[in-house]
């Protein structure tokens, strides 16, 4: 497909004005254009303006065509061309092609994401004859920090945390030379003029002795890691903690002192060969690991690293060195290191030097620091390849704040801000037909995280010169993001649009798949933890017929009480008890399965209190949640019964437990059966798990291995979800338009086995299946869906004002 529009054909020489839109500023685009134009002996100029890059070029028709072709093919690694428009140019052109002054003041074109160190920079820092040999802050226009150092616009050195470092003569010459890879690279420096790394003791004492054979602070840090020490590292977007991942004692010590009992640690290795000696790495996984985004990639691991690295999981999260600092630490280490965020338990990653000394001194005796301030907390991104495509689970370093183009129909969307959810919070700005999703912020319940969220929102407002006309938020009464939105709506003239949680999940999936604004409704299948439902109960296993404007709930999982509310989220056994009590009743269970250890275990717990709570509706909200069903099953299998150390632990362990051969080869009739029943006053079809529980408990009696049981549960659940979709598709009449497209969203779709099986079975039945890739299926993607729904609503209102009609199919509810 060609991006050109209206190339003018003339017999001999032509002059064109070429507008290039996309990520074309601050990534080395102008020097690339300059080089090609000089190469082809063209006249003209290139400049940055508020809309991107503008090229005016003259020469023979053939050379100009070759110029456009090469501009597309040779675009710089971090550049992205969205659109090239050309028109004839009739003015004068400089004979010698040149780079002209930028015009139009501050542009709202894009601050690029941070990019991992490029090959050319690696060559320099490993070459003793280059002036940047072992310089830990080496970068160029093809790599290096962007979001992590930016404080304002336009993106030039004065508005980054590089401002205090005046360029030396040598760096300045590179900066001014269009033929140089560092032409207008804002963050460059060298040993003489840039930031410096220092090794400190966090207890304040001086580092002394034994350094004679060490080259520098970075080498000293490497040596400490080899000796079994935990070292704090001031990274690009926050402090990290690192240690030898093969040293079981050190990893266990890190876990204890970080007060993180089970959440898996990320790993970093020097090169792919080291990663391959612990994990299998497929083609797409390799592309992700070695790309400029350089995220943590979840890989199927073998068991050769200490269990404490990723307790109870079958995957390891690996990344390759992301900055020259990391590269130099790992250069002479032939084993992987733990590279986890520098924080205690659930607090956000530390970015401030004083805070690092306060909170990390008890964990790491040493810190490798530097004198460049961290402007913004940017966590490492997490990606997993599922069904052949990379799926982003946590979108931060390397991805944010790259804009996501909104689908056809949203061109006229007004500027708005969507506030996101509560867990894995992000927010999203709409501007110029694109959605700008913030980097992962975390759980807003933590005060420091919520502070960061507000600070980042203010920064984005400035960076993108954003003036919203409306606010969009989740309907949940207690989400801090929603409360903030309500406060803002009260103190400003901005209207607030409240959006149902699972509708936002579906809309996020539609938007990232480019589903047009006026496309027919799809069936959204949202397998999720918890979200606020329209009936005041909690939802989380939902089948919604939806487009951007409306949705109708066609089916759900069977609602079951959560005795203890938030406590039931932390303690899986509570959900197990509630499921058994709701399905067959405790008395029947206790009689029929008295021989089970499970029965003895639950008998010893305060179940009569739970019964009273459920009966009296005391702190026991009803929830149709798929996540809580996973918790209950993990508790039954005794994989995670007592307490979850992190959100989703039970489900992650249950997935890790699946026996692949059983899953692939065993007869379907042995997978656990679910039924679909019309229950309750609403007569809404529900996925009813009672038959599944009976089969599972029977397997427990016959001492079936947990690995086999987990496989049977996953396959049974996938079959049930697909059966529900098929039933709903077959129904006709008054439920609204029929659908042939199914959109999958919600945190449970990060389970690869469940996800791939549901996709496979739906495609077998000829459904078009839309899935998440660029945006998380979990609540990290919620803000994008809210933004799309908010924009659709406002576009609708505008259309209604001009046309005076409100189309609304029966069975649909509009966003309010
Ligand atoms: Zn570079
Ligand atoms: Zn310098
Ligand atoms: Zn959700």
Question: What are the distances in angstroms from CA 707 to CA 351, 626, 655?
Answer: 42, 20, 9
Task: Tell me which H or E stretch contains 664.
Answer: helix 660-665
| CA–CA separation, 56 and 90 (whole Å) | 10
Q: Of the bound ligands, which one is closest to the alpha carbon of residue 505?
A: 3
Element (H, E) at 58: strand 52-60
Cα angle 108-112-116, degrees, rounded to a multiple of 5: 170
From ligand 1's centre to the CA of 124, what distance in Å? 9
* C-alpha of residue 610 to centroid of ligand 3, in Å: 26
Q: With the C-alpha atoms ordered 219, 222, 223, 229, is the resulting torsion angle positive or negative?
A: positive
Pairwise CA distance, residues 23 & 292, whole Å: 14
Centre of ligand 2 to C-alpha 124, Å, is 14
Q: Give the pTM.
A: 0.93
Per-residue pLDDT of 671-711, as tens digits, reads 999 999 986 556 789 999 999 999 999 999 999 999 999 99
Is 625 in a helix, a strand, or coil?
strand
DSSP string, 389-421: EEEEEE--TTTTT--EEPPTT-TTPPPEEE---
* CA–CA distance, 709 with 437 (Å, rounded to integer): 39
* Residues flanking ion ligand 1, Cβ below 5 Å: 118, 121, 140, 142-143
Size (the chain), residues:
816
Measured between alpha carbons, how far is 49 from 102 in angstroms, rounded to an integer? Answer: 6
Dump strand ranges (E) for 314-354. Answer: 315-319, 337-341
End-to-end CA distance of the chain: give it in Å, rounded. 40
Give the 3-state secondary structure percentages of the chain, helix then strand then coil, rounded to 5: 35, 20, 45
pLDDT score at 802: 65
Alpha helices in 185-231, H assignment, sequence order: 217-226
The ligand that comes nearest to the alpha carbon of residue 170 is 2
What is the structure's pLDDT at 104?
61
Nearest to 33 by CA among 155, 186, 147, 184: 184
For each successive 10 residues of the chain (816 residues), what is the average pLDDT? 46 87 86 94 91 92 95 89 92 92 62 93 98 98 94 84 97 94 94 96 74 79 96 95 97 91 94 96 98 97 89 96 97 96 83 87 94 95 98 98 95 97 97 95 94 96 93 97 97 96 98 97 97 96 97 95 95 97 94 95 94 94 97 97 93 97 96 88 87 98 98 98 94 64 98 98 97 98 98 87 47 47
pLDDT of 2 reads 43
> Taking a C-beta distance cutoff of 8 angstroms, is the pair 279, 302 a contact?
yes
Ligand closest in space to the Cα of 194: 2
Angle between helical axes of 626-636 and 649-657 (0-180°, round to 10): 60
Tell me the CA–centroid distance for residue 136 and ligand 1, in Å: 12
Distance 35 CA to ligand 1 centre (A): 18
Give the DSSP letter string of 246-278: T-HHHHHHHHHHHT-SSSPPEEE-SSHHHHHTT
Nearest Cα to 26, choosing from 174, 177, 182, 235?
182
Write down the pLDDT at residue 803. 60
């Amino acid at each position: 497909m060609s991006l050109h529009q209206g190339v003018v054909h003339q017999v001999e020489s032509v002059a064109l004005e070429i507008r290039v839109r996309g990520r074309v500023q601050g990534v080395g685009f102008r020097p690339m254009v300059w080089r090609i134009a000089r190469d082809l002996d063209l006249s003209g100029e290139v400049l940055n303006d508020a809309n991107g890059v503008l090229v005016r070029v003259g020469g023979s028709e053939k050379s100009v065509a070759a110029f456009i072709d090469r501009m597309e093919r040779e675009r710089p690694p971090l550049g992205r061309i969205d659109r090239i428009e050309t028109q004839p140019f009739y003015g004068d052109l400089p004979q010698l092609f040149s780079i002209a002054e930028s015009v139009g003041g501050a542009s709202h074109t894009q601050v690029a994401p941070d990019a991992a160190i490029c090959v050319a920079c690696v060559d320099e820092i490993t070459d003793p004859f280059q002036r940047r040999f072992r310089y830990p802050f080496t970068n160029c226009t093809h790599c290096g920090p962007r979001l992590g150092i930016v404080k304002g616009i336009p993106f030039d050195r004065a508005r980054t945390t590089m401002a205090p470092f005046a360029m030396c003569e040598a760096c300045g010459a590179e900066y001014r030379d269009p033929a140089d890879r560092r032409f207008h690279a804002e963050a460059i420096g060298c040993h003489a003029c840039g930031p410096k790394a220092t090794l400190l003791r966090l207890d304040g004492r001086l580092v002394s002795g034994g350094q004679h054979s060490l080259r520098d602070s970075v080498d000293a840090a490497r040596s400490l890691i080899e000796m079994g020490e935990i070292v704090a590292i001031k990274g690009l977007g926050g402090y990290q903690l690192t240690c030898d991942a093969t040293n079981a004692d050190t990893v266990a010590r890190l876990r204890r002192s970080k007060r993180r009992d089970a959440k898996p640690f990320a790993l970093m290795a020097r090169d792919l060969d080291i990663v391959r000696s612990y994990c299998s790495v497929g083609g797409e996984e390799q592309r992700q690991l070695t790309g400029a985004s350089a995220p943590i990639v979840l890989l199927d691991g073998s068991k050769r690293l200490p269990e404490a690295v990723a307790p109870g999981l079958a995957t390891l999260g690996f990344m390759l060195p992301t900055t020259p600092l990391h590269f130099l630490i790992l250069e002479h280490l032939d084993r992987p290191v733990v590279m986890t965020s520098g924080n205690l338990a659930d607090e956000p990653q530390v970015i401030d030097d004083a805070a690092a000394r306060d909170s990390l001194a008890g964990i790491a005796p040493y810190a490798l620091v530097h004198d460049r301030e961290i402007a913004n907390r940017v966590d490492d991104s997490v990606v997993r390849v599922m069904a052949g495509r990379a799926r982003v689970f946590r979108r931060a370093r390397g991805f944010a704040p790259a804009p996501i183009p909104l689908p056809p129909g949203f061109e006229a969307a007004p500027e708005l801000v969507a506030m996101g959810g509560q867990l894995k919070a992000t927010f999203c700005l709409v501007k110029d037909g694109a959605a700008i999703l913030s980097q992962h912020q975390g759980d807003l319940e933590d005060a420091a995280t919520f502070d960061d969220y507000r600070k980042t929102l203010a920064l984005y407002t400035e960076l993108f010169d954003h003036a919203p006309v409306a606010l969009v938020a989740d309907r949940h009464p207690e989400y801090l993001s929603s409360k903030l939105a309500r406060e803002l709506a009260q103190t400003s003239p901005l209207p607030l649009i409240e959006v149902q949680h699972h509708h936002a999940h579906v809309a996020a999936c539609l938007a990232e798949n480019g589903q047009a604004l006026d496309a027919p409704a799809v069936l959204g299948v949202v397998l999720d933890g918890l979200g606020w439902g329209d009936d005041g109960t909690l939802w989380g296993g939902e089948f919604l017929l939806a487009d951007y404007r409306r949705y109708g709930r066609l089916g759900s999982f069977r609602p079951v009480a959560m005795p203890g509310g938030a406590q039931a989220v932390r303690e899986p056994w509570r959900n197990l008890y509630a499921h058994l009590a709701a399905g067959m009743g405790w008395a029947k269970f206790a009689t029929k399965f008295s021989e089970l250890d499970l029965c003895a275990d639950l008998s010893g717990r305060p179940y009569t209190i739970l019964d009273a709570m459920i009966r009296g509706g005391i702190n026991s909200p009803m929830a149709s949640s798929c996540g809580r069903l996973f918790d209950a099953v993990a508790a039954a299998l005794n994989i995670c019964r007592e307490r979850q150390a992190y959100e989703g632990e039970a489900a992650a362990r249950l997935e890790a437990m699946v026996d692949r051969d059983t899953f692939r080869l065993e007869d379907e009739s042995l997978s656990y059966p679910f039924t679909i029943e019309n229950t309750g006053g609403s007569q809404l079809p529900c996925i009813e798990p009672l038959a599944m529980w009976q089969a599972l408990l029977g397997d427990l009696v016959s001492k079936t291995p947990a690995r086999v049981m987990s496989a049977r549960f996953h396959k049974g659940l996938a079959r049930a979800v697909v059966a529900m979709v098929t039933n709903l598709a077959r129904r006709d009449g008054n439920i609204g338009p029929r659908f042939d497209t199914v959109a999958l969203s919600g945190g449970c779709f990060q389970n690869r086995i469940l996800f791939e099986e549901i996709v496979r079975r739906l495609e077998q039945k000829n459904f078009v299946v839309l899935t998440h890739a660029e945006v998380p299926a979990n609540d990290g993607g919620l803000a994008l869906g809210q933004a799309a729904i908010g924009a659709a609503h406002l576009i609708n209102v505008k259309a209604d004002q001009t046309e005076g009609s409100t189309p609304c199919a029966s069975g649909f509810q509009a966003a309010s």
